[in-house]
A = this chain, B = another copy of it.
Amino acid sequence: MKALVYHAPGKKAWEEKPKPTIKKPTDAVVKIFKTTICGTDLHIMKGDLPAVTDGRIIGHEGVGIIEEVGSAVSNFKKGDHVLISCITSCGKCEYCKRGMYSHCEDGGWILGNLIDGTQAEYVLIPYADNSLYPIPAGADEEALVMLSDILPTGFECGVLNGQVKPGDTIAIIGAGPVGLAALLTSQFYTPAEIIMIDMDDNRLAVAKKFGATHIVNSSEGKAVEKVMKLTNNKGVDVAIEAVGVEATFELCSEIVGAGGHIANIGVHGKSVILHMETLWSKNITITTRLVDTVTTPMLFKTVQSKKIEPKNLITHHFKLNQVAEAYEIFGNAAKEKALKVILTNE
């Protein structure tokens, strides 16, 4: 089969690899139908994730069709259409039982990281019963690719951890795909005001279309001032960090109101300053989380009932074998006005 293989920083290739086969009774082999590229994949390609080694097939999102299942797989059979979760869950370790699939003792985020991933014609999925979800006939499979990672990430790490409530005033820092996923899913809880903060006017315009009630371009350094004005100097109930750098984290801590929440989604490469000299008495809660995808069934229902249109996050389409081109576009997201790209295995 063909697959996108990482070799070294800056060096990847669409090349021939052996088609995966069942190794454990809990495995499944899935023929990829549609997949996509994640911001994390760009980091991998730059060599930022040393755990990813030469020869690894990249990608952790997608939908496909069951090709073969191991003897212990009972939820799926050959021919079933499935959604692939970016998180592999054994369903039986301490962490899986606590709903923390991201810390699964034999899984977690391994796909396209520690084991071969989805930017390929076929992929092996361990613990298939717990790591795949059935797609009902008639569903919009392309839209469901957004449920592999981006929607549960925005929802679990941002919205659920931030405890967004009806009537709240919330701010989301970062209007990239994950920030927009938080924007879309935050509306499940009907906040009164959603302030979207970014440095790119195009992305802010998208945010406005997706339901932001206020947009703030932070490139002039006046974001704190603007948010404080919008909130009568009370600060926001929830600040969602969807960037992953010190400046945006600090912004969250400056705009969060007493009793509020800072929900971190961003992947941080460095430590940040935490202003405990002001925060210690402010009754705030800061959360971190790697997506667990425990809410995938809940999100599935909201998509099926049209409460959310994940398709709106998709801006570009390619054939799977055009994956190099797709990386080019996605790697220049701001310029290309790209959010999520879809790669179809035709």
Residues in chain A within 8 A of chain B (CB atoms): 24-26, 70-72, 74-75, 90-92, 94-100, 102-103, 106, 129-130, 165-168, 187-190, 192-193, 213, 244, 249, 258-259, 264, 266-277, 279-290, 292, 294, 297-302, 304-305, 307
Contact = CB atoms under 8 A, between A and B. Distances in A.
Contacts of A165: 298
A307 B258 contact: no
> How many monomers of this chain does the complex have?
4
A270 B276 contact: yes
A103 B280 CA distance: 13
Contacts of A258: 95, 100, 103
A75 B92 CA distance: 8
Contact of A166 (B24, B272, B283, B298): B298
A39 B304 CA distance: 38
A334 B37 CA distance: 57
B307 A166 contact: yes
A304 B232 CA distance: 15
A92 B95 contact: no
Contacts of A259: 95, 98, 100, 103
Contacts of A287: 283-286
A64 B286 CA distance: 39
Contact of A25 (B25, B187, B304): B25
Given A167-B307, A213-B305, 12 more contacts: A26-B72, A91-B92, A92-B129, A97-B297, A99-B99, A100-B283, A103-B259, A167-B298, A167-B301, A249-B276, A269-B277, A282-B288
Nearest to A244: B280
B189 A189 contact: yes
Lowest 4 A-B CB distances belong to which pairs?
A167-B301, A72-B72, A192-B305, A268-B276
Given A24-B72, A167-B302, A192-B307, A277 B288 contact: no
Contacts of A100: 258-259, 283
A305 B168 CA distance: 10
A160 to B, nearest CB: 10
In this complex, the member of A166, A269, A288, A299 whose beta carbon has the largest number of chain B beta carbons within 10 angstroms is A166
A271 B274 contact: yes
8 contacts: A25-B71, A71-B71, A102-B283, A103-B259, A192-B307, A270-B277, A273-B273, A283-B289
Nearest to A27: B72
Contact of A130 (B25, B91, B286, B301): B91
Contacts of A98: 259
Contacts of A301: 166-168, 192
Nearest to A274: B274
A228 to B, nearest CB: 17
A267 B282 CA distance: 11
Given A71-B25, A272-B276, A274-B273, A192 B288 contact: no
